[in-house]
Structure 1
Amino acid sequence: MTDAAITFDRVTKAFGTVRAVDEVSFDLPRGALVTLLGPSGCGKTTTLRLVAGLELPTEGRITIEGRDVTRLAAAERRIAMVFQSYALFPHMNVLENVAYGLVVNGARKAAAETDALAMLKTLGLEGLGQRLPSELSGGQQQRVAVARALVLRPQVLLFDEPLSNLDARLRRRVREDIRDLQKRLGLSVVYVTHDQQEALAVSDLVCVMRAGKIAQMGTPNELYEDPADSFIADFMGEANVLDGEVLGPDRIALGGVALATRMRAHPAGPAQLAVRPESITLLAEGEGLPGRIQRAAFLGQTREYEVETAVGTLFVVAPAAAPAFAGGEAVRCRMERVIPLRPPRG
Structure 2
Amino acid sequence: MASKRGGMRTTGEVLEWWLSRIEGDRTRSEKYRASMGSLMRRHVLPRLGRVAVRRLDRVTLDDKLVFPMHQVLAPRTVQKALQGMRQAFRMAETQGRIEDNPLVGTTFRDFYKGKLRPKPAALSRVDLPALVQHLVQVFNREPAKGMLPLMMLAHGTRIAETVAARWGHISLDERVWVIPEANTKSRREHVLPLTPQVVGLLGRYREALPDARLKTAWVFPVRGGAGLALTSAHALMREVSGRQWTSHDLRKLMRSSLADIGVDHMVGELLINHALGVTTETYLTRDAMERRREALERWHARLDECGFADAHGVNVAAPAFLQSAAAPVLARDCAVSCVSTWGG
**TM-score normalised by structure 2 residue count:** 0.21
Higher normalized helix content (fraction of residues): 2
Which structure carries more relative contact order (alpha carbon 8 Å, separation 6+)? Answer: 2
TM-score (norm 1): 0.21
